[in-house]
């Protein structure tokens, strides 16, 4: 007998025992009474024991039937809870959303979307995993996150990347190097000043290193720091010229605590990508967040 048939028979048994009536069980299950009677008979024949006493008022459980009911009742409760949980997940009333990304992308790009998402779906638990692009790719492949937010390009046949906003990186500094304001520098001239770069193996760090190599220069920072916030603060304090994302220092540029270094070469823009595993179904929580961001 198949598991499907087993389940249907047990469901009939459950409602017959719960209501004490084959007629009421049939009504609850949208079946005919003969169908309910036949299902009960099949179970009794399978076990070789009587499960119910029949009387004029309906049915009551035998001692053996009561034992079976104690187990079936638990399974029905669990199935009902599972159905309620599935409905909650579908309606985004519960669940979790696991996102990987850098500190700077979380703060300067994703934060408004995360605020909106949490406001609209307070029952969804948010888990944010911080790391560089290679680390985020590893998290995704290991199933530790649902999606990653990273800088493009990403070349990996296992991943699907949806292009999002465009970013522009630039060099900035503070008042200590005020003489450079409005001056166009060559890469060679720029390297005569202390350069501050992000210390980790970020996509932005790799991109600017490669650009200098293409022009025949080796970019060796005088100072390396572990966060974008330190890149900004060190430049403000006059410790050197930091390589940052323009959109992430918009406030400082506007208020004048930082200014952008003008170069005689064009720094290429980059795009943020929303990265997921290819051919893997997304949870409702992840799908709804991607729709919000895009």
Cα angle for residues 170, 271, 188 (degrees, 5° grid): 30
Residue range 180-194: average pLDDT? Answer: 95
pLDDT at 136 over 60: yes
Residue range 28-40: average pLDDT? Answer: 92
pLDDT at 149: 95
Q: Is residue 71 classed as helix, strand or coil in its secondary structure? A: helix
pLDDT at 27 over 80: yes
Q: What is the pLDDT of residues 205-242, one digit of tens each?
A: 888 999 999 999 999 999 999 888 999 999 999 999 99
Name the percent of the chain lying above pLDDT 70: 98
Q: What is the pLDDT of residues 13-23, one digit of tens each?
A: 999 999 999 99
Provide the pLDDT confidence category of residue 2 given band limits of 50, 70 and 90: very low
pLDDT at 129: 94
Backbone dihedral region for residue 75 (phi beyond 0: left; psi -120 to 50: alpha; all else: beta): alpha
Mean residue pLDDT of the chain comes to 90
What structural domains and CATH numbers belong to the chain?
3-90 (1.10.10.10), 95-166+272-293 (3.40.190.10), 169-268 (3.40.190.10)
- Burial classification of residue 233, based on how many CB atoms lie within 10 Å of its CB (0-12 exposed, 13-18 middle, 19 or more buried): middle
pLDDT at 1 over 60: no
Rounded-to-integer distance, Cα 60 and Cα 51, Å: 8
Residue range 131-159: average pLDDT? Answer: 91
Rounded-to-integer distance, Cα 130 and Cα 110, Å: 13
Residue range 89-117: average pLDDT? Answer: 89
Residue range 237-257: average pLDDT? Answer: 94
């Amino acid at each position: 007998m198949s598991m499907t048939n087993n389940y249907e028979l047990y469901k009939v048994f459950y409602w017959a025992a719960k209501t004490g009536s084959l007629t009421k069980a049939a009504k609850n299950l949208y079946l005919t009474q003969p169908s309910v009677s036949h299902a009960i008979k099949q179970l009794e024949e399978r076990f070789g024991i009587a499960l119910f006493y029949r009387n004029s008022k309906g049915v009551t459980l035998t001692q053996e039937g009561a034992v079976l009911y104690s187990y079936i009742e638990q399974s029905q409760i669990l199935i009902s809870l599972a159905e309620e949980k599935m409905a909650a997940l579908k309606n985004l009333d519960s669940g979790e959303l696991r996102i990987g990304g850098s500190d700077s992308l979380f703060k300067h790009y994703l934060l408004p979307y995360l605020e909106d998402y949490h406001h609209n779906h307070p029952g969804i638990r948010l888990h944010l995993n911080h790391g560089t692009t290679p680390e985020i790719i590893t998290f995704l492949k290991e199933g530790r996150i649902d999606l990653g937010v990273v800088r493009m390009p990403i070349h990996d046949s296992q991943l699907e990347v949806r292009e999002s906003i465009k970013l522009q990186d630039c060099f900035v500094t503070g008042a200590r190097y005020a003489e450079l304001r409005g001056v166009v520098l060559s890469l060679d001239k720029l390297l005569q000043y202390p350069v501050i770069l992000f210390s980790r193996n970020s996509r932005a760090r790799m991109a600017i290193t490669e650009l200098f190599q293409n022009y025949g220069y080796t970019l060796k920072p005088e100072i390396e720091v572990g966060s974008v916030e330190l890149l900004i603060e060190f430049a403000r304090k006059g410790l050197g010229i930091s390589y940052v994302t323009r959109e992430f220092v918009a406030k400082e540029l506007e208020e004048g605590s930082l200014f952008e270094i003008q170069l005689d070469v064009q720094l290429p823009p980059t795009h943020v990508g929303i990265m997921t595993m290819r051919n893997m179904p997304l949870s409702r929580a992840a799908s709804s967040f991607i729709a919000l961001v895009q």
